[in-house]
Structure 1
């Protein structure tokens, strides 16, 4: 597809959670069922991965190096070595535990460097609304559930000033994006409201990013496109991508003008070439630097 560059040598079953580490000049993302964390050097284009002992669903950079991750049994610190080895340190888990068949899913840091991630029941066909959204910081540990009754938690993102938090449920029966007022001092969301109702769209709202204009970019999983919503919830742009199931997008690169998009293998013949690939494109706008965990 014109304007889209495929990252060579990378194929994921469920590619997710791309993030740009400005301190390293590198991209990170995960392949959930493969238990892999991928890294792409922004200067050389060299890619590599580390295999973990359990599934990694989301990652964010930590201040000083390494990653924080939402995994199967909790929130972990990951130190990725020069070889294939990595050091996993479990930092926290929900007080009630995750429960059988559960894991963390989408996540990122807020503008103050607190880590947010939600849980889901892995069998999406069961449509169990048992997912919950949590906040983690080193001083207070893991919070009580901040949002409950989620089937497939996704789309967590924050406005440029940090005072609006976005969250979606990408399950086919939900297809909804919400906005919250966000207390930047205490890290508490309130005033939940519908931001974008996608129940009439082909694509489901998956992972997301916010650009420098405060617009919300969300992947249309199953639709083969990315949607851009203005801060007042108006759909003002749609960018087609070559994969049927784009899963999450992230701004990065030296000038924060590159959008990296991960994807999921659909198993459909028309998606055989691009499903599971990672691509880059330049949408003509710039993103925002992500705040590392602990900053």
Structure 2
């Protein structure tokens, strides 16, 4: 894309109900994402607009690739290993599962840290309950799922790491929270500490949903319900705001040949949806992103 901040709708990617977790695969020149209630992973090859999709037995909310192109995914009942080489209905092998403290839970937002450990959080799907039963988990390179690393979350979101991997970001997008936290992060042990408020969106607009960090170390968050992307400096200062055609942006990721395109998934609301809600968008914000780390372990797949 040549024009900074010009927002393009990727019609060939189709329309999702809850689009989430965009992941750029440089090896394929393709963008992947999920449609959670459709139980689907979608791939769009950008050069030829060819779309491929895989459907699962349960909802898939977040995922990452390993070096071999296999997938670790956070779904409804746990962590799964998936092989996307075959088309159509996808088979998944359960690798680990937490003890969910409440009914009606699933995994939500997730990605790998700079060392290749996969992190994902859980939530009670009925957000009207405002249940703080959610927690953040670490799935390490040996295939072990941790105990809750951060608990008391309502709607976990916004995972990202600074370029040097020593700061971890996490948000809670529930209307009662609307907070982004920063943590000191030990890259050797995968341990976050010194939790503090990084951005309080009660002072801005929308709810902090999925996020990405650019090469300058700035944190981009999707301001859900406000149709905005917000960029915060490493010091927590808002320095950029970009309007989007869809009201509920859900997560963003850098991609393209030089990682200068920002892809944004969106959610289609149950009522009063516009013609743009639910599509994936692309823009050039004038900064580059960082390569998405691969999961460092070996995944058993079907």
TM-score, structure 2 as length reference: 0.94
Give the match's secondary structure for 2:128.
Answer: helix
Give 1:19's aligned residue.
23
1:257 aligned to 2:260?
A: yes
Give 1:266's aligned residue.
269
* CA deviation vs aligned residue, 1:26-66 (integer Å, no higher than 9, x gap): 21110001101011113322112111100001111121112
Q: CA deviation at 1:268?
A: 4.6
Correspondence 1:107-186 to 2 at 5 A: 107-139=110-142, 141-186=144-189
State the number of aligned residues: 293
More moved, 112-121 vs 62-71: 62-71
Query: Is the Cα–Cα contact under 8 Å of residues 18 and 266 in structure 2 kept in the other structure?
Result: yes
Query: Which blocks of at least 5 consecutive residues in structure 2 are unaligned?
Result: 298-302
Give the match's secondary structure for 1:125.
Answer: helix
Query: Which blocks of at least 5 consecutive residues in structure 1 are unaligned?
Result: none
The CA distance in 2 between the partners of 1:179 and 1:68, in whole Å, is 25
Give 2:56's aligned residue.
52
* CA deviation vs aligned residue, 1:98-150 (integer Å, no higher than 9, x gap): 64200000000000110000000000000000100000023250011100000
TM-score, structure 1 as length reference: 0.96
Give 1:239's aligned residue.
242
Give the match's secondary structure for 2:91.
Answer: strand
Query: Is the Cα–Cα contact under 8 Å of residues 250 and 267 in structure 2 kept in the other structure?
Result: yes
More moved, 130-139 vs 206-215: 130-139
Query: Is the Cα–Cα contact under 8 Å of residues 247 and 277 in structure 2 kept in the other structure?
Result: yes
Give 1:278's aligned residue.
280
The CA distance in 2 between the partners of 1:36 and 1:47, in whole Å, is 12
Q: Identify which of 38, 41, 61 aligns with 1:37.
A: 41
Q: Alpha carbon RMSD of aligned pairs, Å?
A: 1.5
Query: Is the Cα–Cα contact under 8 Å of residues 19 and 29 in structure 1 kept in the other structure?
Result: yes
* CA deviation vs aligned residue, 1:180-216 (integer Å, no higher than 9, x gap): 0000001010000010011133300000000000000
Query: Is the Cα–Cα contact under 8 Å of residues 73 and 98 in structure 1 kept in the other structure?
Result: no
Once superposed, which parts of structure 1, at least 4 consecutive aligned residues long, lie more than 6 Å away? none
Give the match's secondary structure for 1:286.
Answer: coil
Q: CA deviation at 1:89?
A: 1.1
1:78 aligned to 2:82?
A: yes
